[in-house]
Amino acid sequence: MTDRHSREIFCWMLYDFANTAYTVIIVTFVYSVYFKNIVCEGLGNRGDLLWGISCALSMLVAATLSPLLGAIADHSHSKKGFLIWFSLLCIISSGLLSLVQKGMVFLGMFLFILANVGFQGGVVFYNAFLPELVPPDKMGRISGYGWAFGYLGAIFIIFISTPFLIDGWIPENLANIRFTFLLQAAFFAIFSLPAFIGLNQKRRKTPNTFNLGLIKMGFQRLCDTYNHIGRYKELLKFLIAYFVYMEGVTTIIYFSTIYASNTLGFTLKELVGFYVVVHTAGIMGAILFGRLADIILPKRTISITLIMWIIVTVGAYLAYVKAIFWSIGLLAGLAIGSSQAVSRSMMGLLTPKEKVTEFFGFYGVFTKSSAVIGPFVFGVVSALTQSQRFAIISVALFFIVGFILLQWVDEKKGYQL
């Protein structure tokens, strides 16, 4: 591996470091609570419903666009340009959230949806660079390094945002809180520059143009892939189980901070420490369960993480003391990275080598689609019952059903195909 190639891989990993600032500050940590408690002040638990709708709509748009974006990534040499444009959509829209104040519900939803679509679109093109950068035998390791860089980015953005969050949700500090939305946008932009400048694309014979044929090609490929996957029964059964339990995982990601703040009374200062613990546990969980999957195979490993998720949701429902929720957060941190990482590993093992690109594109559509129903259900249950506790326990159903469906997968049979 040449020095130039190593630098290019480092530039690629830095993008993961950069874009995690958006997921931490906007999706999970600060803006989610700001939207519910400040923007939607006076709306009660209807704020949960509006946040759930925002999350669901953004992921529905992203899932719908995925086949088209995948076709563009595979059949043109415009990946770098689209990576930049989608990233800029996320950076600019999320930065503009700093203008959203009390009562600006529609603007807050609209800008978040734009930002999340931009983020998800950028990830499609970011992922599409990996096969060009490293050979198959090193792909898992480099992908893991990128994941680790993302966790480091999460801890770093929390650290530099803390001085602006430390005084909490008092009216005098709201301007500082909104400033963190600009801060994460700047963080994302600055640390993305190496990827924007340093990544190179392999030249393709196909024209470097966007046309209507790519739209048709993208959705036709989605239909063809569905038919192809249908021939691999164990893979199809796994994807159905994955879709169900990932609804639970993404719902926890979108609502965990809101739940901790509103139901258990966590202050912003406490949330800072809480999320450092969660992300640190996530690093350990991804490493620990990744090794465990090599020993007992992914299906059993995922099953263990789903049991952990069931304990997390039931524990959150029963928790009335912050100390207990800290323990639950530690367990969730161990589960969150591992359940996603090992699921990707199982997908790779069940996928025929000659169809890796095609089937992983379909896997991406499943991943985005699995963030539509769960957040909406949480919001509806919270609004109808006026209780986030009933909403959080409803999430356990996704993990229970996903666990049951996963047991029907014969992974050894699937690996032999």
Which pLDDT value is given to residue 19? Answer: 93
Instruction: Say whether pLDDT at 207 is over 60.
Output: no
- 193 vs 352, higher pLDDT: 193
Q: If residue 149 lies in a helix (H) or strand (E), which one and from where to where?
A: helix 136-165
Calculate mean pLDDT across residues 329-339.
Answer: 84
**Among residues of the chain, what percentage have pLDDT more than 70?**
86
Domain boundaries defined on the chain: 1-216, 230-417
Which pLDDT value is given to residue 4? Answer: 62
Q: Of 142-146, 166-170, 228-232, 257-261, give the lowest mean pLDDT range.
A: 142-146
Which pLDDT value is given to residue 213? Answer: 64
Q: Of 77-81, 248-252, 389-393, give the lowest mean pLDDT range.
A: 77-81
The CATH classification number of 230-417 equals 1.20.1250.20
Which pLDDT value is given to residue 67? Answer: 67
Which pLDDT value is given to residue 82? Answer: 83
Instruction: Say whether pLDDT at 109 is over 70.
Output: yes
Count the neighbouring beta carbons within 10 Å of the beta carbon of residue 402: 26
In angstroms, the CA 294 to CA 342 distance is 10
The reply to whether 1-216 and 230-417 are identical in fold is: yes
Which pLDDT value is given to residue 179? Answer: 96
pLDDT digits (tens, 9 = 90+) for 281-293: 877 777 777 778 7
Most confident stretch, 61-75, 242-256, 284-298, 305-319:
305-319
Count the neighbouring beta carbons within 10 Å of the beta carbon of residue 153: 25
The CATH classification number of 1-216 equals 1.20.1250.20
Instruction: Say whether pLDDT at 128 is over 80.
Output: no
Handedness of CA 186, 187, 190, 192 (dihedral sign): negative
Say which amino acid occupies 117. Answer: V
Instruction: Say whether pLDDT at 140 is over 70.
Output: no
In angstroms, the CA 257 to CA 169 distance is 14
pLDDT digits (tens, 9 = 90+) for 24-59: 999 988 999 899 989 998 888 888 899 989 988 998
